[in-house]
Amino acid sequence: MFSILATKKLVDRVKQPVMPPVSEPTTALGNWYATAVFWRPQVALFVNERTLFPVLMPLAPAATLMERFPVSLQQTLEARKVASDFTESEIAAMADGRYARTASRSVLGSMNDFVYLAKSYREHRGVSDLIVLSLILSETPCGPLYERHVSPDRELDALVSRWLGQSE
């Protein structure tokens, strides 16, 4: 069980019930924040609450976003070459999810920065593949991570290493 803490823009698109967020997610990565990005075609940006790891995926059809997100996450983690044991466990734990309203201004600020940077990479560098764009964004230094591992990709690697150490 996990939550997608969605912005109003995204809640309006998915037209699904909004509940309180899951306080104790069963996934190692925990809850995710998400917003709609109105490019052509429209995209959903997910940002992990713990690591700030970004995942971009097609928004349409919005009604099935919750069901499609684990597949996009799996593809992005595999492209990042994350340990398959971790990826498989994480995707299996995402079988049940719910939408909730956003709560952290810090994560929302990082999401806004990612949207701005992604737009720049798309328009000025011609990066259109959403997985590649997600991986580029994951290397971005983020203020909330300065005390730890600086960028989402390194924060994710540290979390996976801890998880692998516990599972042995």
Separation in Å, CA 72 to CA 14, 26, 38, 75, 167: 17, 19, 19, 5, 24
Give the residue-averaged pLDDT of 118-137: 94
CATH at residue 28: 3.30.420
Three-state DSSP class for 108? helix
Three-state DSSP class for 134? helix
Three-state DSSP class for 44? strand
Does residue 168 surpass a pLDDT of 60? no
- Over residues 42-91, the pLDDT tens digits come to 999 999 999 999 999 999 999 999 999 999 999 999 999 999 999 999 99
By percentage, how much of the chain surpasses pLDDT 90? 89
| Burial of 14 per CB tally in 10 Å (0-12, 13-18, 19+) | buried
Residue range of the domain that includes 43:
2-167
State residue 126's pLDDT score.
Answer: 87
Give the residue-averaged pLDDT of 132-154: 94
Alpha-carbon distance of 154 to 92, in angstroms, equals 23
The number of folded domains in the chain is 1
Alpha-carbon distance of 20 to 34, in angstroms, equals 15
State residue 166's pLDDT score.
Answer: 83
